[in-house]
């Protein structure tokens, strides 16, 4: 999205990406790479080793394969860059970024979308002394020291960088955003889906998205159990994931909890707009001390419904917009009290909170605005406000 907006602003952009991913089916092709035009962006897909799991050895080998083939690409087939953005993960690409900056005399921007290896330690159970963690931390610090600018999707990245290196280039926040056209460009759910899965006449608390260990849904289900005798409130979980069957079994005795199949991305907004309160949660983790910028929160705010988060970390978006509230991660009693506070509000009061979230998002997080901010970072001498 950002590159597409940069192209619309008159810049030439090339994206180098792997054709392997553990969550998405990527196109396969012969040869080492294939280049195509997508919305004006030149996209070079590099064929790398396939892998299955996020924590597998195959993923590390695929990273190494990508770096080797990126280094070996015939550079003369592509435009000479004025700026190179290395977007982690993988951290290993910083090596190619440094080589490209040296070769072309261009600016190097190190983009952090996920703080590694901290996430592996905090949420993956790895020891600080694990050789993989030690190596990744050395690479991370190299990126912070050798880049011309650091960009993070999280608003408090500067605190983390300061903990890793004594001096660093300027640090900026370019968070996840929204395409303004998404406001009305969504599809309506099929009537049979609505009849089968969307309860009527209830106050709907909805979690939409992956049902996995990182989504910390235990707090939600424990809260639902405390409210199972309250006929007003229903908990709706939309999506699929590794823990769905586990939670289906665990919640089988609760009539106030239901699970609905995942829907196409184009229908997510219709699901959210049919609910009264949109919920997301995280585990207690040092990672959140540096803030969040989650696609889920963007989708929730765009829907114009109040957002409630079980979240202990650096506050942003929800509090800035006045579009919802947060309770401490893992605190079932606090979550229950906050849900009931929303239940007691009038529909008009809730609509005002949801409208505030949507208005703030469209004023501050559209991709055309974020792309211009990014261009000012990449080319500070050309900055135009």
pLDDT in tens, 117-136: 999 899 888 999 999 999 99
**High-pLDDT (> 90) share of the chain, %:** 83
DSSP-derived secondary structure for 42-96 = EEEEEP------TTSHHHHHHHHHHHHHHHHS-GGGSPPPSEEEEEESPTTHHHH
Interatomic CA distance for residues 256 and 276, integer angstroms: 15
Asked if the model's pLDDT at residue 113 lies above 80, the reply is: yes
In this prediction the pTM is 0.90
Interatomic CA distance for residues 170 and 30, integer angstroms: 41
Task: Tell whether 184 and 174 lie within a shared domain.
Answer: no
Pairing outcome for strands 41-46 and 33-38: antiparallel
pLDDT of residue 37: 95
The neighbouring-strand residues paired with 36 are: 43
Q: Are 27 and 54 in contact (CB under 8 A)?
A: no
Q: Are 276 and 233 in contact (CB under 8 A)?
A: no
Q: How many CA atoms lie within 13 A of 80 on its CB side?
A: 5
170-192 mean pLDDT: 91
Task: Tell whether 74 and 188 lie within a shared domain.
Answer: no
Task: Tell whether 254 and 378 lie within a shared domain.
Answer: no
Asked if the model's pLDDT at residue 57 lies above 80, the reply is: no
Buried b (16+ CB within 10 A) or exposed e, 268-280: bbbbbbbbbbbbb
Asked if the model's pLDDT at residue 23 lies above 90, the reply is: no
Interatomic CA distance for residues 222 and 275, integer angstroms: 20
Q: What angle do CA 287, 143, 115 make, to 5 degrees?
A: 15
Structural domain tally of the chain? 2
361-379 mean pLDDT: 96
Task: Tell whether 94 and 234 lie within a shared domain.
Answer: no
Query: Both tokens of residue 103?
Result: 């070769």
Task: Tell whether 138 and 184 lie within a shared domain.
Answer: no
Report pLDDT digits (tens) over 119-178: 989 988 899 999 999 999 999 999 999 999 999 999 999 999 999 999 999 999 999 999
Interatomic CA distance for residues 355 and 376, integer angstroms: 30
Task: Tell whether 50 and 198 lie within a shared domain.
Answer: no
Report the chain's C-alpha Rg in angstroms: 22
pLDDT of residue 54: 62
pLDDT of residue 184: 81
Report pLDDT digits (tens) over 324-362: 999 999 999 999 999 999 999 999 999 999 999 999 999
Task: Tell whether 285 and 334 lie within a shared domain.
Answer: yes
Output DSSP code: residue 251. Answer: T
Report pLDDT digits (tens) over 295-316: 999 999 999 999 999 999 999 9
Task: Match 């012969």 to its residue by tokens.
Answer: 30
Task: Tell whether 266 and 152 lie within a shared domain.
Answer: no
Confidence of residue 55 (pLDDT cuts 50, 70, 90): low
Asked if the model's pLDDT at residue 53 lies above 70, the reply is: no
Q: What angle do CA 290, 236, 223 make, to 5 degrees?
A: 65
Task: Tell whether 249 and 356 lie within a shared domain.
Answer: yes
E strands along the chain, which residues?
A: 14-18, 33-38, 41-46, 83-88, 107-112, 149-152, 171-173, 203-208, 233-238, 257-260, 277-281, 307-310, 324-327
Check which CATH number belongs to the domain holding 223 and give it.
3.40.50.2000
pLDDT of residue 384: 53
Asked if the model's pLDDT at residue 29 lies above 60, the reply is: yes
Confidence of residue 231 (pLDDT cuts 50, 70, 90): very high
Task: Tell whether 52 and 167 lie within a shared domain.
Answer: yes
pLDDT of residue 182: 81
Residue predicted with more confidence, 127 or 50:
127
185-210 mean pLDDT: 96
Task: Tell whether 235 and 377 lie within a shared domain.
Answer: no
Task: Tell whether 139 and 210 lie within a shared domain.
Answer: no
pLDDT of residue 24: 65
Task: Match 């939309």 to its residue by tokens.
Answer: 238
Interatomic CA distance for residues 338 and 154, integer angstroms: 26
Collapse the DSSP code of 229 into the 3-class scheme (helix H, G, I; strand E, B; otherwise coil) and give the result: coil
pLDDT of residue 293: 87
200-212 mean pLDDT: 96
**High-pLDDT (> 70) share of the chain, %:** 97
Interatomic CA distance for residues 256 and 353, integer angstroms: 25
Angle between helices 332-344 and 218-226 (to 10 degrees): 60
pLDDT of residue 26: 72
pLDDT of residue 352: 98
Asked if the model's pLDDT at residue 78 lies above 60, the reply is: yes
Question: Which residues form the domain of 21?
Answer: 2-178+366-382
């Amino acid at each position: 999205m950002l590159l597409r907006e940069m192209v619309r602003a008159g810049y030439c952009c090339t994206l180098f990406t792997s054709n392997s991913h553990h969550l998405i089916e990527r196109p396969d092709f012969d040869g080492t790479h294939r280049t195509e035009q997508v919305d004006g962006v030149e996209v070079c897909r590099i064929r790398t080793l396939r892998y299955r799991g996020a924590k597998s050895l195959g993923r590390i080998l695929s990273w190494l394969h990508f770096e080797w083939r990126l280094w070996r690409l015939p550079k003369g087939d592509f435009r000479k860059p004025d700026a190179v953005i290395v977007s982690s993960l993988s951290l290993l690409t910083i090596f190619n970024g440094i080589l490209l900056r040296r070769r072309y005399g261009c600016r190097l921007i190190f983009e952090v979308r996920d703080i590694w290896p901290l996430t592996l330690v905090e949420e993956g159970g790895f020891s600080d002394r694990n050789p993989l963690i030690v190596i990744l931390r050395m690479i991370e610090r190299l990126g912070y020291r050798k880049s011309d600018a650091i960009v993070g999707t999280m608003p408090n990245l500067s605190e983390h960088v300061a903990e890793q290196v004594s001096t660093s280039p300027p640090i900026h926040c370019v968070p996840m955003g929204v395409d303004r056209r998404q406001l009305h460009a969504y599809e309506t759910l099929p009537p049979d889906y609505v009849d089968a899965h969307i309860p009527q006449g209830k106050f709907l608390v909805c979690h939409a998205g992956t049902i996995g260990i990182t989504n910390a849904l235990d707090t939600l289900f424990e809260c639902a159990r405390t409210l199972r005798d309250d006929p007003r409130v229903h908990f709706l979980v939309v999506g699929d994931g590794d823990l769905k069957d586990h939670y289906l079994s665990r919640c089988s005795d609760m009539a106030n909890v239901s699970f609905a199949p995942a829907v196409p991305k184009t229908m997510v907004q219709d699901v959210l707009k049919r609910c009264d309160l949109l919920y997301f949660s995280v585990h207690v983790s040092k990672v959140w001390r540096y803030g969040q910028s989650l696609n889920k929160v963007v989708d929730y705010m765009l829907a114009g419904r109040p957002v409630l988060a079980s979240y202990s970390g650096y506050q942003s978006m929800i509090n800035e917009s006045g579009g919802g509230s947060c309770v401490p991660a893992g605190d079932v009693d606090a979550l229950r009290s906050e849900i009931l506070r929303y239940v007691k509000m009038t529909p008009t009061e809730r609509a005002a909170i949801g409208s505030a979230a949507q208005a703030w998002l469209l004023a501050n997080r559209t991709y055309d605005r974020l792309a211009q901010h990014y261009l000012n970072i990449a080319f500070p001498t050309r900055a135009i406000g």
